[in-house]
Amino acid sequence: MNILHTVVLGIVEGVTEFLPVSSTFHLIWTTKILGIPQTDFEKLFEVFIQSGAILSVVFLYFKTVIKNTQLLKKVAFAFVPTAVIGFLLYKVIKNVFFNSDVLMLSVFILVGLIFIIYEWYAKKSGDKFSKSLSSFTYKEAIIIGFIQSLAVLPGVSRAGAVMLGMMFMGFRRDESATFSFLLAVPTLLAASGYDLWKMRSVAFATSGNVSTLLIGTIVSFISAYFVVKWFIAFLQKHSLANFGWYRIAAGLLLVFFGIK
């Protein structure tokens, strides 16, 4: 990986981490397009730079969380199912899910269809997403934690799964997005930290590796900071169907051009 690759991947991570489009999917396919070999370090890089995007949420929502300890507890409850499932499936995630192009593309397109169909049904049935996080219960938090665990499959999107689950429970889109941001903090910091520990010999093999991780993380932080602020405003006037159409179009293009 050169400096250009590092910056591009940092931007891709920051832009896609909190959108319901699967940052993991975008990172994997961006490396394919750029011709970056899937080495152990590259796989570590893709996971670790998520910490930069997460720090942007900490920066933006620090005061909100400090003033709402009950919400913080619910984030902790929601994190537990994901942590357990992620730990148990760590080797499968790294060695199987990340290496199956057919699986990734199929899931990516399928979730896009689910977004479109759900938003169409909600509009037709007159469903109103009106609940706020002030009414969010511990039971709902645990359910959302299990729903988020579906994102171990590249292409699902952690943010998309959480948002769709909460909307099904009646929560507003922007409130659902906010909780997905907050839940991302322990989830992705744990994933980044665990991966760094498991692959510490690779991460610290050279000073170049350390510099690459730091640069990617910083770029991810900056790009995510602006995307988070934009996304909340976007969801107040638009639906997830827009991202569903994007998923289908992008997925079919990758299938059509047969990128390996």
What's the angle, vertex CA 186, arms to CA 151 and CA 37, rounded to 5? 55
Which residues of the chain, if any, have pLDDT below 70?
Answer: 90-99, 258-260
171 DSSP β-pair partners: 131
Predicted pLDDT at 258: 64
Give, in order, the Cα–Cα distances in Å from 118 to each of 19, 111, 112, 124, 164: 17, 10, 10, 10, 9
pTM of the model: 0.86
pLDDT of 13: 94
Instruction: Return the pLDDT at 92.
Output: 64
Residue pair 14/223 in contact by the 8 Å Cβ criterion: yes
Q: Where are the domains of the chain?
A: 3-257
pLDDT score of 96: 60
Instruction: Name residue 131's beta-bridge partners.
Output: 171
